[in-house]
Structure 1
Amino acid sequence: MMKHKFLSVMIIGVVLFLATASVQAIQPAKPSVDASSWLLMDYETGQIILEQNADEQLPPASLTKMMTSYIIADQLHRGNIKSDDKVLISENAWAQNPKLKGSSLMFVEVNKYVTVEDLHRGIVIQSGNDASIAMAEHIAGSEEAFADLMNQYAKRLGMNSTFFMNSTGLPHEQHQTTARDLAKLARALIKDFPEDYSMYAEREFTYNGITQQNRNELLGDTTLGVDGIKTGHTEAAGYCLVSSAEKQGMRLISVVMGTDSMGARAGESRKLLNYGFRFYTNVEAFAAGKALKQAQVWKGEEEQVGVGLAQSAVLTVLKSEKDQLKANYKLNGKLIAPIKKGQVVGEVYFHMGDTVVKRMPMVALDAVEEAGFFGRMWDSMALWFED
């Protein structure tokens, strides 16, 4: 039996939901941040809330150790190394190596064995350059080979403006990254290895009878919920801090580079985190798998198919503007069977006023098989007349 289909012009940009405030939302003033480069990101959505000079390449100092730690965590989870592996400390990694004098150290001793777990903590909590070199040599054979590995990981994580020359962050003119890339790394560190990330919240670590405090000044701030991540300082880099904090179910990541003191990097980071928690929230606009509409299908066994999102749409928005969020959709064209479940058939775009804040692919929520000969022929004729 031939199916009846309505010949219609596809409507582009039908509003899926719309809630407009009767008065214009109040816009909070952006904070003034005294740093060379800075950024504030929402962890869940990856959206950038605020930024300044976020793509400027700068020396990262010990923020480099975030990547060193990420690789250690990845190698542990792959089973390539184990926490109780014993690492022989080379003269190159030795705390008394002249090139390490005056830098942050775990104080490992040459020709001694130290476990991977202790070295990992020495990197994260004590920011030990000696521990970083020891682990670089253990994983890759040499620090040079490990730096190459770091750059491969950076590329995989989309850190396109980053280049590493060593595992520590000791000065080198080619050793550079950006605030944006560091935020990407921080997000990956938390998401990919949550158990290892918990180490970043530890306040102190004792090795060889020497207790050292975590240099992250914000860990003691109970009002913010800071549980990481890493400090850095060299003369060229200034004082830097990547922070992450969770409050009322929302996690933020801040990156501050090139401040002039420890107090400044903590204060400017606190300023950004407070601003984000005070004025922003996450809104789930649509759930994954929920039909946004029934779209017409041509030449198929079914006349319609539900279309929606493969992943839930969560957006970071100003609390004062969340009721102004709108979503429109656009089909890529007429839907002609066969159609696979999950096939991209259009796009959903979310906007505040004239500004598009997020785009997501719209997919078919079910498969539609091709109709029989007469059904296809009927629809071919209908499409011919419609065109």
Structure 2
Amino acid sequence: MAQNFQSQAPFAVLLDSDTGAVLYEKAADELMVPASMAKLATVLVAFQELSAGRLSLDSEIGISENAWRKGGAPSGGSAMFAIINSRIKLSDILQGIIVQSGNDASIALAEAIAGDEATFARIMTERVRGLGLTKSVFRNATGMPDPQQRVTARELALLADHIIKTYPELYKIFGQREFTWNKIRQQNRNPLLAMDIGADGLKTGNIDEAGFGLVGSAVQNGQRLIVVVNGLKTGRDRATEARKLLEWGFRAFERREIFAAGETVGEASVYGGAKGRVALRSKGAVSLLLPRGGTERLAARIVYRGPLAVPVQEGAEVARLVVTRGDIKTLDIPLYAAESVQAGTLQSRALDALFEATTGWVRKALSRS
């Protein structure tokens, strides 16, 4: 069943939050238009500013003529209907962005933090780069059309996962069903919240260039899944495909522990050390979600740039464990040195240097063949 499942969405990812396992992917690393799903990066910057103490939920955000005209009532797009030249607490601005997908609120927030929207968009891109997201580029705070604004489904899922885990209290806003501002009551645009599937966020998107998209998350029996779909023809298709993926993910997979907490996962070679190898461990138990009754083979490898140079400090992140199921990367987690390794004797360092020089020559010869 797991092998035969197919989504109608042109772009799709289903991610298990706890293990980081990718249960399903389709064009997950191809660039796509985010539409209002770009507001996840807008919100990320705001959450980071709050966490750093540079803003508070009581901070007042001014609504400029630009924000009102470009993103408010006159624009005809999604808006919280903020009044021009008014000042609104950040707590309400965030609800305007998250619940109502307000472009006016997004632009006002960008201007308050960075002075103008273009500068803020550069900050958005820099902040997601800091999370290891290397492909996504943002050019505005709203998700309005821009030929250079592109993301991937996988990176949207990872961004959502980061927001959920890093800002659990602020994340609760994403589950809010409605918000009233300027005497206008609007429902949350996320269709998953009205379904009895444990959904509690995150964000929809739709412009002509992108089609209908959604980043969603749901929890069942303590398991959280994050889904991304994009490029669908209608809002109904978006809701249907996202729900199908989530329900299938909860139903079709079982958790298996492959390494216990504290168990050695493997070893990495060390150059010039008192020991030639160092044991590697994860921070906790390592589990996978695997298709029930599936017969696909798993392939696991330890990836690092080595041999490691001394000194190697115990607890330092020095490698990654990558597990694939067919063409799908199901797990990619950091590995840490289980002990410290100091520099070895002069003789041992000389032998290591000779060995590395010889194997390096062989590697270069093979690379040219």
Alignment TM-score, normalising by the size of structure 2: 0.80
Quote how far apart the aligned CAs of 1:65 are.
0.7
Cα 1:319–1:142 shift into 2, 3 Å: same
SS of the residue corresponding to residue 68 of structure 2 reads coil
Q: Which of 269, 278, 283 is the aligned partner of 1:311?
A: 283
Residues 170-193 of structure 1, C-alpha deviation per residue, up to 9 Å, x if partnerless? 111112112122112111111221
- CA–CA separation in structure 1 for the residues paired with 2:53 and 2:320: 40
Shift of 1:31: 2.7
Give the match's secondary structure for 2:66.
coil
Counterparts of 1:93 and 1:306, CA distance in 2: 56
Quote how far apart the aligned CAs of 1:250 are. Answer: 1.3
Shift of 1:47: 2.4
Partner of 1:230: 203
- Following TM superposition, by how much is the alpha carbon of 1:58 offset from its aligned partner in structure 2, in angstroms? 1.8
1:239 is aligned to 2:212: yes
Q: Could you report, residue by residue, the CA deviation over 1:203-230 in whole angstroms, capped at 9, with x for unpaired residues?
A: 00111221110011110111x2111110
Structure of larger gyration radius: 1
Q: In the TM superposition, what is the alpha-carbon distance from 1:109 to its structure 2 partner?
A: 0.6
Q: Extract unaligned runs of 5+ from structure 2.
A: 352-369
Matched AA of 1:309: R
The alpha-carbon distance between structure 1 residues 325 and 122, as it changes in their structure 2 partners (threshold 3 A), is same
User: Which residue identity does 1:28 align to in structure 2?
Assistant: A
Percentage of identical aligned residues: 39
Provide closer, same or farther for how the CA distance between residues 190 and 356 of structure 1 changes in structure 2, counting only shifts above 3 A.
closer
Corresponding residue SS for 1:93: helix
Indicate whether 1:213 and 2:187 are aligned.
yes
Counterpart Cα distance in 2 of 1:231 and 1:331: 37
Secondary structure at the counterpart of residue 264 of structure 1: helix
Q: TM-score if structure 1 supplies the norm length?
A: 0.76
Matched, 1:269 2:247: no
1:80 partnered with 2:49: no
* 1:290 CA drift (Å): 3.2
Give the aligned partner of residue 54 of structure 1.
28
5 Å matches for 1:175-194? 175-194=149-168
Deviation at 1:358, TM superposition (A): 4.8
Q: How does 1:65-144 map to 2 (within 5 A)?
A: 65-94=39-68, 101-144=75-118
Alignment partner, residue 282 of structure 1 = 255
Provide the aligned length of Structure 1 versus Structure 2.
Answer: 348
CA contact (8 A) 1:34 1:268 kept: yes
RMSD over aligned Cα atoms: 3.9
Do 2:72 and 2:104's aligned partners in 1 also have CA atoms closer than 8 Å? no
| 8 Å CA contact retained: 1:292, 1:306 | no
2:357 match:
none
